[in-house]
Each structure stands twice: as structure tokens, then as C-alpha cells.
Amino acid sequence: MTSLTSDPPSDPVPDPASGSDAVLLLRLAGPLQSWGTRSAFNRRETSPEPTKSGVIGLLAAASGLAREDSLGELLPLRLGIRVDQPGTLLRDYHTVSDYRGRPLPQSGVTAKGVQKPTSPVKNTHVTTRYYLQDAVFLAALAGPRAVLSTLDLAVRAPAFPLALGRRSCPPTQPVSLGLREPGLEEALTEEPWLVSRRAREQYASQLGRERGLGRPLYPARIDCSVTLEDPGGDDVAHDAPVSFDPYARSFTSRRVRHGWLSIPTGFPNPEDGSADSSEQEAGHDPFALLGW
């Protein structure tokens, strides 16, 4: 297991007295999510976790920014994503046709700028969309306290509808969990597990069966995978937005690091799993949360 806390901290050390920095926590959960990184006309894929462009887009919508507006103070915010519940992948089958019964046009145009008809004639086009079902993520954004305080209010009373990647994917409430003290990794570590009570009980029952106890086991903490934006990170994500302007959409890359954080489960009376010798022998199972 790779532990983020074992690495040298890369978060800048803020002056506690200044109160200039903070972390905004967002709960990203809903029946469906789709965070696109690669798309084609007939195939729209989803990343297994929220992208920076998707999160910044949600904040821009909450703030009432038009697509042509500058993203300004949103771009420098550092992002961290914690996977509380990875969800399952859904493949959605689509067909596209003209309701008037006309053949579909092709992408090419005539000298007059009119789309050419398909040849041979094509009346139906098959497309594929991918979504994440029942996923739960914790997004943390680090930056100036004044900026994040304004964004916190905007998310609670958004100017435009919020979406989890695509407009057809509305989030469940609450979205904003408020501001926390810096830094980014500490905020992700201290926030309790965000899954539903039913999901927690299912996990406890499964863990008890795996340990041969014949009853649920309620651990005090659980390991969740995280992705942190870090200038010294060993991986690159190509999802940082520069502009959402439909005529000048542009993105750039950012460096990130991946790992695991031990977070509180939130069980009312947690048991100390480390006292169970069978659990010590088994070690950490990173796939236990996935039900594998």
C-alpha cells in the first residue's frame, strides 16, 4: 500500500494567524456521474473519478459564469479527490435519428456551408455513453479563504443547475460541506466516510464474514484511495481547464500523486480492528471496499 502520509508534505505551510487559506469540501454523489476525459461523436467515456475540469465547471455554474467568461480565480485552486464509493460502470446504448424521417447529414459541408447527406444513406446512428452508478466522492479545493467562502455560498444557492460531469447527472444534497482549515491532505483525512448507512452496514457485515467472526465488524477507520494535485507528483492528468468557451475550449495538464488515506468510518461504537489478530495477518486489502 502506498501511503500519502509517508511522503514529504508538499502543501505550503500557511500562517495560522493570517487566515488567508482554507479548504472547501464538496460531496459529489448521485445516481449517475460521468467525468469525461476522452470523447468522440459516437463514444463518450467517463473517468473513474471526478476531473478538475468537471469540478471547476460545477463551481463556474454555481457562480453564474457564462461559458465565454474567464475562469479567473478558479484555475489556481488545488484539487484533491477521495474515493469513498467507486460505484459501478454503466454502458448506455443510444440511437440518433431525424424525427422527420430524413437521412442523417454527415460532418462535411458544401461550398455554401450546408451539411452533405450521408452516402450511402444513413437513417440511424448508434452512440455509446458511459456513466458511474452510485459513486460517492469527496472533492477538496485549497486556495484563498475569501474565494472559497464565496464559492461555498454559490454552491449552496447556485445560479445555474449543478451537474456531476454532464447536465443529465444532477447531484444529491448536500453538495457543499463547508470550509476546513488547511491543508488539502489533512482535510481529506479528517472528514468521515461519506457513504450511506446501508453501505457502511454492508461493509461491516462483509468484513466480519471475511474475518470469520460470524458477526459484523465495525472498524474505526477505513482506507480510501485519493488523488492529490501536487507539482512534485509522479503522474500527469490532462484535465485542467483553461477556457470553456465553445469556440476556444482549451485544457492543459497538471501533476498529481496517488495513494491511500486512513479515514474515520463514523460507526457509533467502532471496534479496534488492529486488535484482531486475523486482520493483522491478512493485512490491508485495497479491494475490500469494492466488494471483491
Question: What is the span of the domain harbouring residue 246?
Answer: 20-93+124-290
In a domain, 260, yes or no: yes
**Cis bond upstream, residue 270 (ω within 30):** no
What does the pLDDT read at residue 219? 94
In a domain, 202, yes or no: yes
How many domains does the chain fold into?
1
The answer on pLDDT for 201 being more than 80 is yes
In a domain, 161, yes or no: yes
Find the CATH number of the domain harbouring 190: 3.30.70.2660
In a domain, 109, yes or no: no
In a domain, 110, yes or no: no
Strand 250-264's sheet: what is its strand order? 176-180, 21-29, 136-144, 78-85, 221-229, 250-264, 235-243
Cell numbers standing for residue 131 = 456513466
If pLDDT is split at 50, 70 and 90, which confidence band does 251 have?
Answer: very high
Cell numbers standing for residue 60 = 463556474
If pLDDT is split at 50, 70 and 90, which confidence band does 209 have?
Answer: very high
What does the pLDDT read at residue 43? 82
Nearest-CA neighbor of 206 among 86, 292, 82, 134? Answer: 292
Q: For the segment 211-244, what is each residue's pLDDT rounded down to a tens digit?
A: 999 899 999 999 999 999 999 999 999 999 999 9
Cell numbers standing for residue 213 = 467472526
Nearest-CA neighbor of 227 among 2, 8, 62? Answer: 2
Cell 491532505 locates to 185
Residue 263 or residue 99, greater confidence: 263
The answer on pLDDT for 3 being more than 80 is no
CA-to-CA distance for 130 and 90, rounded, in angstroms? 6
The answer on pLDDT for 268 being more than 60 is yes
What does the pLDDT read at residue 19? 54
In a domain, 14, yes or no: no
Nearest-CA neighbor of 136 among 176, 179, 82? Answer: 82
Q: Which of the residue ranges 22-31, 155-164, 168-177, 264-273 would you say has the lowest mean pLDDT?
A: 264-273
In a domain, 6, yes or no: no
The answer on pLDDT for 249 being more than 80 is yes
In a domain, 104, yes or no: no
β-pair type (105-109, 136-144):
unpaired
What does the pLDDT read at residue 212? 92
**What's the alpha-carbon Rg for the chain, to the nearest Å?**
22
What Cα–Cα distance (Å) separates residue 123 from each residue in 43, 99, 169? Answer: 18, 10, 28
Q: For all residues of the chain together, what is the average pLDDT? A: 86
What does the pLDDT read at residue 286? 53
- Average pLDDT in the 17-37 region? 87
DSSP symbols for the chain: --BGGGSPP-S----TTT--EEEEEEEEE-SEE---SSEETTEE---SS--HHHHHHHHHHHHT--TTS--GGGTT-EEEEEEEE--EEEEEEEEE--TT-PPPEEEEE-TTSPEEEPSS----EEEEEEEEES-EEEEEEEEEHHHHHHHHHHHHS-SS---SSSTT-PPPSP-EEEEE-S-HHHHHHHSPP-S-HHHHHHHHHHHHHHTT-SS---BSEEEEEEEEE-TT-SEEEEEEEEE--TTS-EEEEEEEEEEEEEEE---SS-B-GGG-HHHHHH---TTGGGT-
Q: For the segment 132-188, what is each residue's pLDDT rounded down to a tens digit?
A: 999 999 999 999 999 999 999 999 999 999 999 999 999 999 999 999 998 999 999
What does the pLDDT read at residue 280? 33
The answer on pLDDT for 287 being more than 60 is no
pLDDT > 70 fraction of the chain, expressed in percent and rounded: 85
Q: For the segment 77-118, what is each residue's pLDDT rounded down to a tens digit?
A: 999 999 999 999 999 988 888 888 888 887 778 888 888 888
What does the pLDDT read at residue 164? 97
